[in-house]
Amino acid sequence: MTEPGSTRFRLGIAYDGTHFRGWAPQPGLRTVQGVLDDALATLLRKHGPVASLVVAGRTDAGVHATGQVAHVDLSDGQVAALARSRVRRSEQGPGALLAGRLTGILGSATDVVVRHGEMAAEGFDARFSALWRRYRYRIADGAAERDPLQRHRTLWHPRTLDDDAMGAAARGMLGLRDFAAYCRPRPESTTIRTLQDFSWSRDADGVLVAEVRADAFCHSMVRSLVGACVAVGEGRLPVERPGQLLATAGRANEFAVLPAKGLTLLEVGYPPAAELAARAEQTRARRAALDSGAPGAEDDEDD
């Protein structure tokens, strides 16, 4: 909830995760949030303490994003400072000004970009208001063209994979399930998720592309799901096995968790503006249940 005397801004963010140690700040390591928080401080610290960004989903080291969403709360004094910095004859609002000023601080050769900014709708919370997250994983197998310009966001796989079998395996995992077999375990964190979409296709260069969407993802879940499908595509697992593993109590070891480089966060979905606050309260209640040890709460750690 936004504090009195402050305004919440919604930011759309993209980054090449190759040289980041993930989203979340870590002492002595370069992270996406660390870079952006530093830029915010450079821009606004003369006008009071600067809040940290709150993100829709914390991506792991090496994972990319084109549609990450975050929010930040600025004091009235900081918003006024942005307004005073308005470029002559510019009609930009404070959200666009914030994105533009951050872009200038990050520089022309940056690997993280603030694509747009706007004043957030009432009740918006980048993390708790989200309905779903959508990821893409790219694999150039033996049947695909290998483009060196795409090497940082595409896994090169030496053998040709059976994409029809991989698609069938993916469909067998859809729905509300316990994905403990596909998640790195975390104390007191539920592994129950709703996998809303999981499909495979080939693009114009023959590159295998997985589209994966869920209400939320636990740690390493997307890369584990994709790894299980690759094992099917290689013929090492039968088509039905990835779905059968959902009945197991712990993490499976019948497949490899694939490297982060092939994974990109594409989009975060939110309800209509009138439903943002209710969605955030619903998610916070589930989180409180987790903190109290009750089942069914939602962890906030994305792949």
Inter-residue contact 211 to 136 (CB < 8 Å): yes
Question: To which H or E segment does residue 196 belong?
Answer: strand 192-202
147 is catalytic: no
Q: Judge if 154 and 237 occupy the same domain.
A: yes
Q: Judge if 103 and 195 occupy the same domain.
A: no
Instruction: For residue 70, give the CATH number of its domain.
Output: 3.30.70.580
Separation CA 143–CA 146 (nearest Å) = 9
Q: Which of 119, 151, 175 is the last residue of a domain?
A: 119
Q: What is the largest CA-CA distance in the chain?
A: 64
Domain assignment present for 284:
no
Q: Judge if 30 and 114 occupy the same domain.
A: yes
Tokens of 124: 């918006």
Residue 99, classified by CB atoms within 10 Å of its CB into exposed (0-12), middle (13-18) or buried (19+), is buried
> What's the pLDDT at 89?
44
> What's the pLDDT at 272?
96
Domain assignment present for 231:
yes
Distance of CA 136 to the CA centre of its chain: 10
Q: Judge if 262 and 136 occupy the same domain.
A: yes
- Count up the domains in the chain and report the number: 2
- The residue ranges of the chain whose pLDDT is under 70 are 1, 3, 85-91, 188, 287-303
CB neighbour list of residue 117: distance below 8 Å, 6 or more residues apart: 9, 10, 11, 12, 95, 96, 97, 98, 99, 102
What b-and-e string marks burial along 61-91, b requiring 16 or more CB atoms within 10 Å of the CB?
ebbbbbbbbbbbbbbeebbebbeeeeeeeee
Tell me the three state secondary structure of residue 54.
strand
> What's the pLDDT at 298?
42
Q: Judge if 147 and 248 occupy the same domain.
A: yes
Q: Which of 16, 60, 125, 299 is catalytic?
A: 60
CB neighbour list of residue 88: distance below 8 Å, 6 or more residues apart: none
> What's the pLDDT at 249?
79
Inter-residue contact 166 to 229 (CB < 8 Å): yes
Residue 61 belongs to domain spanning? 6-119
Q: Judge if 114 and 191 occupy the same domain.
A: no
Domain assignment present for 295:
no
> What's the pLDDT at 91?
66
Q: Judge if 147 and 263 occupy the same domain.
A: yes
Inter-residue contact 284 to 293 (CB < 8 Å): no
Inter-residue contact 54 to 127 (CB < 8 Å): yes
> What's the pLDDT at 286?
77
Inter-residue contact 113 to 190 (CB < 8 Å): no
Q: Judge if 80 and 164 occupy the same domain.
A: no
Q: Judge if 176 and 112 occupy the same domain.
A: no
Q: Judge if 87 and 136 occupy the same domain.
A: no
Tell me the residue length of the chain.
Answer: 303
pLDDT tens digit sequence for 42-64: 999 898 898 999 999 999 999 99
Q: Judge if 15 and 89 occupy the same domain.
A: yes
Domain assignment present for 19:
yes
Q: Mind giving me the DSSP string for 58-107?
A: -PPTT-EEEEEEEEEEEEHHHHHHHHHTPPTT----HHHHHHHHHHHHH-
Instruction: For residue 249, give the CATH number of its domain.
Output: 3.30.70.660
Q: Judge if 139 and 55 occupy the same domain.
A: no
Separation CA 58–CA 33 (nearest Å) = 9
- Please report, as a single letter, which amino acid is at residue 91: E
